[in-house]
Amino acid sequence: MNPVRRAALAVGLVLAVLVVVFATREAGQDRMTTHLVGAVAPPVAGSTLDGSLWDLDDQRGRWVLVNFFSTTCVPCIEEHPELVAFAEVHDGTDPAIPEVRVVSVAFDDRPSAIIRFFNENGGGWPVLPADTGRIAVDWGVVAVPESYLVTPSGHVAAKVVGGVVLEDLEGLLDRASDALSGEQAES
C-alpha cells in the first residue's frame, strides 16, 4: 500500500477510536453530583435567625440533613412540606426511629424573607440565613435546592439534587443506616 494512504488510514483509525471513546465517556455533570459522598462533611457553621451559633461539628453522634435552599426557588417551596414531615418523623421522640437534625442553609436570600417563609410554611429547625456563600462553595452547591445526609460520624452519606421527597429521604436514610451498621459489624 502507498505509504501516504497507509498514514491516512492510521490517522482515520485513531480519530474513529477517539470519537468512540469521547461519545461513550461518562458525562461530567453526573460526576459533579457525587464527589462529596463518602467524604468528611465540609464545615457548616454560622449564626441562625435568632443570632445563636450553630455548628455541624456539635452534631456528631446524630444524623443531620443539610438542606441548601432559597425562598425564591420554586422547587424549594415545593419540597418544604416534605422536609417538615421528615423533621417531625425524626424529631427524636420515638426511640424506634433514628433522630435526624435538619438544618437549612439559605443561599443568597434576605433574612426577612426567610423568617416570613418559615412562618408561613412551618419548620422549626435552625436556619443559617446569611453569609453562607463559603459554605455553599465548600459543599460544591451549584443550584438550590440540594440536600445532604450526614452520618453520625460526620461523613456525607447521600446527596439529593433538586427537591426532596419524604419517601426518598426515608429510603436514603435506611440504606445509609444499613451501610453504617455493616461497616460497624465488619470493624
Which one, of 132, 131, 129, 183, lies nearest residue 155 by Cα?
A: 183
φ, ψ (nearest 5 deg) of residue 97: -110, 130
Among 53, 74, 97, 179, binds another protein (CB under 8 A): 53
Q: Near another protein by CB under 8 A, which window of 57-65, 103-111, 159-167, 173-181?
A: 103-111
Q: Near another protein by CB under 8 A, which window of 55-63, 78-86, 130-138, 170-178?
A: 130-138
Among 65, 66, 102, 136, binds another protein (CB under 8 A): 136
Helix or strand run (H / E) with residue 63? strand 63-69
Q: Is 87 in contact with 102 (CB distance < 8 Å)?
A: yes
Quote the DSSP letter at residue 4. Answer: H
Residue 119 grid coordinates: 412562618
Task: Give the x-and-dash track for 6-45 against another protein (CB under 8 A).
Answer: ------------x--x---x--xx-xx--x----------
How far apart CA 26 and CA 42 sit, in angstroms, is 26
Number of residues that bind another protein (CB under 8 A): 34
- Judged by CB, which is closer to another protein: 47, or 177? 47
Under the criterion CB under 8 A, does residue 66 sit at the interface with another protein?
A: no
Q: Is 98 in contact with 90 (CB distance < 8 Å)?
A: yes
Under the criterion CB under 8 A, does residue 120 sit at the interface with another protein?
A: no
Under the criterion CB under 8 A, does residue 179 sit at the interface with another protein?
A: no
Cβ burial of 132 (10 Å; 0-12, 13-18, 19+) is buried
State the residues that interact with another protein by CB under 8 A: 18, 21, 25, 28-29, 31-32, 35, 46-47, 49-51, 53, 107-108, 110-112, 114-115, 129-131, 133-134, 136-143
